[in-house]
């Protein structure tokens, strides 16, 4: 404590010594209230001191001047109203003047400066008194608070401070040994700081002392904070994938948790143990949901998290297996088409203006249907859902954007007859329609090496059709042309009879109007078979492409309905011209196109 008082005294003496210089002076203006000591006769040293004004408010301006004659040196002391010497003796010039614009270095009291001058003629003294009065302004005050005076290392901390009648604030921080470890730093006279994880001070007890200064003087305030060691429990973590095995593009959720951890980093390795991502820092707990996960190619991956905290380090890991997707998807002229990559069957067609046009499942999806090459077994069928797709190519015959599906060998729809796969190769191409920026073209080639002709083919066979859910106002349906049910016996794609007024064949649906047209033009003419219309300017058309398969007789449009609801299940073009053996046969193409006139539809 003695050292501290000595340091304070030395600092104060230095400040007041400078003050005294400011308080000594003279000017051309003579204040009738000035305190002045007279100068002596010639030969004997003499001196005088003047304070202008001699009485002032704390913080006001003051001029101090001093003069001497026949003097070679001058020293002075300052005493307070109790007669106690508080400064000096100090040596200074034998004459001088100092002006102080805002005197705040002496607290309110009455002080006397006594100068002693020495010269060849002897020694003399003179004195002057100054009275410092309380300033009109209130004395500054301050307060300081820690919201959590005792906290664990790394926990949140809020510090706030306030002051009144203060123009400046500085602070220092001392530790439990009284050693100043921070400051002095200047900051705002009032403020608040929130630290979500306070780690600026190591465990210990600390005191922050604020010093505020204003026209009315100076004041201090202090607050103590104790930082404790954190719990030394070892950190732990866990990590989960849901599901742990998924197909490429399916939804994925990953979540992770930790305890007693202040940081977490992750790395990702593949099945070969090669690190492919990381280390990356992230939150110590979290959850991410990805509706269509495509960030990793098919493989098995392991994510390893490393958590660190005051109690040490820990790791946890989880494995994710990404399998190849079974769906191939392309968007052509705003139609998004999805096919099963294992069978090649058509699963889904959507359009932004019409929504879902076709939606099927793998066990019911189609694209084409061929009759068995033995006439007696015509009810047997070859379809993609019973076969294995050989490959998918993105090179097309017409050079337009699209894709090609290839089956090198087809299987029949019944495996209980010990029938072998037929030597039939089918290629189906789905591209943007030539010259039609609003449509897609379905086209097929068949190479029949099965030993006999293929008497019937449905192409395209649109199983799961949604938009073509038919109603009829004229009821001019032809049962032989327009309905296909699985109950057919004599012909696999046709029923023998159907009453025209049978319900729910003509049951109402959600769609505005559907019509079928089976009037034939020339083989090369464009034949529109069906359209779906939601309003006069918004239609979907199914049209047989011109110039395709000119060796085929006119097609028939087959519609399969749900016998209970009347909803369409399947829409297909039936080809009855036999497909010969040993040659490549082009199947007439069909265009699905959208017609949208925004001026006609709201």
For 73-126, give the DSSP string.
EEEEEEE-TTS-EEEEEEEE-SSEEEEESS--SS-SEEEEEEEEEEETTEEEEE
Asked if residues 158 and 191 have their Cβ atoms less than 8 Å apart, the reply is: no
Q: What does the pLDDT average to over 346-373?
A: 85
Distance CA 590, CA 457 (A): 14
Tokens of residue 578, six digits? 């036999």
- How confident is the prediction for the chain on average, in pLDDT? 76
469, pLDDT greater than 50? no
First to last CA, the chain: 90
83 band by pLDDT with thresholds 50, 70 and 90: very high
The predicted pLDDT at position 376 comes to 57
187, pLDDT greater than 90? yes
How many of the other CB atoms lie within 10 Å of CB of 485? 16
Q: How far is CA 421 from CA 141, 241, 458, in A?
A: 99, 42, 19
Q: Long-range pairs for 31-37 at CB < 8 Å and ≥24 separation?
A: 35/128, 35/129, 35/130, 36/128, 37/115, 37/126, 37/127, 37/128
The predicted pLDDT at position 564 comes to 58
Percent of the chain at pLDDT above 90? 38
331 band by pLDDT with thresholds 50, 70 and 90: very high
Tokens of residue 249, six digits? 């593009």
Q: What does the pLDDT average to over 211-216?
A: 88
Most confident of 90-99, 148-157, 524-533: 90-99
Asked if residues 192 and 160 have their Cβ atoms less than 8 Å apart, the reply is: yes
pLDDT for 256-315, tens place per residue? 999 989 999 999 999 999 999 999 999 999 999 988 787 888 889 999 999 998 888 999
Strand ranges of the sheet holding 157-164, from the earlier edge strand across to the other edge: 141-146, 157-164, 191-195
Asked if residues 251 and 259 have their Cβ atoms less than 8 Å apart, the reply is: no
């Amino acid at each position: 404590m003695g050292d501290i008082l000595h340091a304070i005294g030395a600092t104060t003496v230095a400040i007041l010594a400078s003050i005294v210089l400011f308080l000594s002076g003279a000017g051309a203006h003579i204040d009738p209230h000035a305190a002045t000591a007279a100068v002596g006769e010639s030969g004997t040293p003499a001196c005088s001191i003047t304070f202008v004004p001699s009485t002032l408010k704390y913080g006001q301006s003051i001029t101090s001047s001093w003069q001497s004659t026949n003097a070679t040196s001058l020293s002075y002391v300052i005493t307070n109203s109790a007669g106690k010497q508080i400064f000096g003796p100090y040596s200074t010039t034998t004459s001088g003047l100092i002006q102080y614009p805002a005197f705040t270095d002496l607290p309110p009291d009455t002080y006397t400066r006594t100068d002693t001058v020495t010269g060849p003629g002897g020694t003399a003294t003179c004195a002057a008194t100054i009275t410092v009065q309380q300033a009109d302004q209130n004395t500054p005050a301050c307060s300081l608070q820690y919201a959590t005076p005792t906290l664990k290392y790394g926990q949140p901390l809020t510090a706030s401070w306030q002051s009144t009648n203060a123009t400046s604030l500085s602070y220092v921080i001392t530790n439990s040994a009284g050693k100043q470890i921070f400051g002095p730093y200047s900051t705002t006279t009032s403020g608040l700081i929130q630290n979500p994880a306070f780690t600026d001070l190591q465990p210990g007890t600390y005191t922050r002392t604020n010093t505020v200064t204003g026209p009315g003087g100076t004041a201090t305030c202090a607050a103590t904070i104790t930082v404790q060691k954190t719990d030394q429990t070892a950190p732990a973590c866990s990590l989960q994938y849901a599901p742990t095995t998924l197909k490429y593009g399916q939804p994925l959720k990953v979540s992770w948790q930790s305890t007693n951890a202040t940081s977490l980093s992750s790395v990702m390795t593949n099945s070969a143990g090669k690190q492919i991502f990381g280390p990356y820092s992230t939150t110590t707990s979290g959850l991410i949901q990805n509706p269509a996960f495509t960030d990793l190619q098919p493989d098995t991956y392991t994510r390893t998290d490393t958590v660190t905290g005051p109690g040490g380090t820990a790791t946890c890991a989880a494995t994710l297996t990404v399998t190849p997707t079974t769906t191939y998807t392309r968007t052509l002229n705003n139609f998004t088409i999805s096919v099963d990559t294992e069978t090649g069957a058509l699963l889904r067609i959507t359009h932004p203006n019409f929504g879902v046009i076709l939606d099927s499942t793998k066990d019911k999806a189609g694209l084409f249907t061929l009759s068995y090459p033995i006439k007696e077994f015509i009810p047997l069928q070859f379809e993609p859902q019973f076969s294995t797709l050989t490959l998918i190519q993105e090179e097309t015959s017409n050079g337009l954007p699209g894709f090609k599906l290839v089956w090198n060998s087809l299987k029949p729809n019944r495996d209980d007859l010990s029938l072998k796969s037929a030597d039939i190769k089918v290629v189906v191409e789905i591209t943007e329609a030539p010259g039609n920026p609003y449509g897609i073209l379905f086209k097929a080639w068949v190479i029949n090496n099965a030993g006999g002709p293929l008497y019937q083919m449905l192409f395209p066979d649109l199983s799961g059709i949604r938009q073509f859910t038919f109603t009829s106002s004229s009821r001019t349906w032809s049962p032989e042309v327009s309905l296909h049910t699985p109950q057919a016996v004599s012909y696999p794609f046709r029923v023998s009879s159907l009453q025209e007024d049978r319900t729910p064949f003509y049951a109402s649906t959600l769609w505005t109007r559907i019509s079928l047209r089976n009037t034939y033009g020339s083989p090369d003419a464009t034949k529109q078979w069906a359209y779906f219309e939601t309003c006069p300017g918004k239609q979907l058309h199914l049209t047989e492409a011109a110039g395709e398969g000119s060796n085929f007789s006119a097609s028939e449009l087959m519609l399969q309905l749900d016998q209970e609801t009347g909803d369409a299940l399947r829409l297909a073009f039936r080809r009855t011209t036999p497909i010969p053996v040993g040659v490549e046969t082009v199947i007439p193409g069909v265009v699905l196109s959208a017609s949208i006139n925004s001026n006609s539809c709201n």
